[in-house]
Structure 1
């Protein structure tokens, strides 16, 4: 007597076992349910080939029998259309693509793709997913993970742009590999990746600005050592790495300046009166080569030391999760421009170009100018 698997009630009464409980879908085609000891059971498709050989396909989990039966029919139809019935994972599809690249475009293109897949696909979770089970959500999660840490470590707009640009190139390589698998009939459909699009304008400015109320909440949520670094960024619009590298000797109280060195070279920035007082407190009792800003253990800050505490402070302050260290620099520059400071001066202070300031913050200057024009009675 056959074991019914069409209803959930019937499946719940089945005994767990390795061998699936089978139900006939049509002549020569079966769908099986493997009852697990715990958790959801899984579904398997089985078909007899013209040569009389049984072939199988793991279908994954389904809530309803009808959905499992439909998946079984789609699998059988793909075989009839010439698609290989042998399962291929994402990693295997990438290896297939690399081999094809070597034949068509030479060793240079092959090495580039192979290095990319080695970093991002081989040995990773996405690499082990069967092409027939690949979902759009898998690709989107893989893509987002590439920029997640880069966003947290970003020190300026260029870092974010480069991270997204790099992720776009990685997506293009992966989709090329998956499309080749589709063309070579190793998978029946491109539904799992066709609609995944690259990041848009990679030069687009970040929108996350921290108003005064949120800045206060963040500072209160930070431990004392981290609050000093956060305050320094808001007071100077400098990159966190530049401030982490600054020593006591780089602060000049008499001139009210701070010397910084970073990705755009060496510069001396003018400090506000409040910033002078702040850095004077940080320099008190320290020798010239000592870090001007240090953590609770006297160490110079770096992204590995500030990353987790800053993320915890953002959460504790109940701020949006996309607030990262760069948000502080973005906020400081925005306030400077909105306050009426000249783009050239802000660019010099922040260690960037006037072109970048005009491109990403010019709207703030126009808003201020418009407010002044509105105050003038022209007609």
Structure 2
């Protein structure tokens, strides 16, 4: 007969009160490589811990905060189960960025550079895309950290209303074709 798996459910105060105090935390899998644990203390409130997979079946355990066993959660020092999950996921993202060498918020330029490196390695269109990004995307959008639909719509509208570009020498000021105001001249173009 198959064994029944009993899962320790640390999502409520009453469920945590029924758990036995022990040194090893009661873990719940949040995502692959990330577990949220509850370490029940013999006296006092328990602690929320995060277990991060570092590869080769090795883990690092980090204490996040005190659990809301006796006090109401404040979001900083005392966390509810939901807040502990959010904090563990935030720490996972911070660790991934630190491992990749990225410590500041991701900008449009950073994302586009990563994509252009992919194009250079796997496609033949990397050079052309790099020139287009330098001409049309980097000046208005390059340093934006939170790209919204409204910002994209504004950028696309501005791009459509801009006059046609004329080839210019490298390093020289960009030239634009003159658009006639007269209806007949506009039709002839």
> Could you tell me the TM-score, scaled by structure 2's length?
0.42
> Could you tell me the TM-score, scaled by structure 1's length?
0.22
- State the structure with more CA Rg: 1
Higher RCO structure, 1 or 2 (CA under 8 Å, sep 6+) = 1
More strand, by proportion: 2
More helix, by proportion: 1
